């Protein structure tokens, strides 16, 4: 079985040039029972926060948690994620397959801005987006997360990094099992 990393970020906005990562959530899907899969959640701290008003407002609870509990600074996030991936069984040589809604076009662009990202982490050029598993011939575009959840019977999107990463695993497993 292909092991993959389901990854989600919460950020201060949509532009990786001007906005920042607040939270990283990940699930290493190694084929085991969902409730036993290795999970990763880290808050990311910054000396100063910049971003879009809507995203800062949407993540107000998360910002309060960062203020109260702290987190890792940008310099330590990459090595921390690297060490967690190794503990999950990653051999450090094989490119990791990422999974998520918009993971290649959004999340990965933010991760690449982290210091020494390319030195420590190696991701495959191919990513898994569960939208294709819930696309219907009469759709005019690929379904968003909310539509995928609805069609899979999984409830609603949480908009927290770890819960959304776990939701991607559930979507992929449901969509693939329906195919076979």
CATH number at residue 15: 3.30.420.10
The mean pLDDT of 132-146, rounded to a whole number, is 95
Residues 6+ apart with CB under 8 A from 137: none
Which of 10, 3, 5, 4 has the alpha carbon at shortest distance from 106? 10
Whether residue 66 lies inside any domain: the answer is yes
Lowest mean pLDDT among 40-49, 67-76, 105-114, 151-160: 151-160
pLDDT digits (tens, 9 = 90+) for 87-123: 999 999 999 999 999 999 999 999 999 999 999 999 9
Whether residue 32 lies inside any domain: the answer is yes
pLDDT for 1 equals 78
Task: Report how many domains make up the chain.
Answer: 1
Whether residue 139 lies inside any domain: the answer is no
Give the predicted TM-score (pTM) of the model: 0.94
Domain range for 36: 4-129
């Amino acid at each position: 079985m292909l092991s993959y990393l389901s990854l989600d970020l919460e950020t201060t906005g949509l532009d990786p040039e001007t906005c920042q990562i607040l939270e990283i959530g990940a699930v290493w899907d190694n084929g085991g029972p969902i409730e036993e899969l290795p999970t990763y959640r880290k808050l990311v701290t910054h000396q100063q926060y910049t971003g879009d008003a809507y995203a800062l407002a949407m993540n107000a609870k998360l910002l309060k948690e960062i203020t109260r509990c702290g987190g890792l600074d940008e310099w330590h996030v990459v090595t921390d994620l690297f060490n967690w991936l190794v503990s999950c069984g990653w051999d450090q040589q094989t490119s990791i397959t990422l999974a998520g809604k918009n993971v290649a076009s959004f999340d990965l662009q933010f991760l690449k801005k982290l210091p020494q990202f390319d030195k420590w982490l190696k991701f495959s050029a191919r990513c898994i987006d569960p939208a294709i598993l819930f696309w219907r011939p009469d759709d005019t575009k690929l379904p968003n997360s909310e539509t995928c959840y609805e069609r899979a019977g999984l409830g609603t999107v949480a908009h927290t990094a770890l819960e959304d990463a776990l939701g991607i695993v559930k979507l992929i497993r449901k969509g693939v099992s329906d195919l076979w």
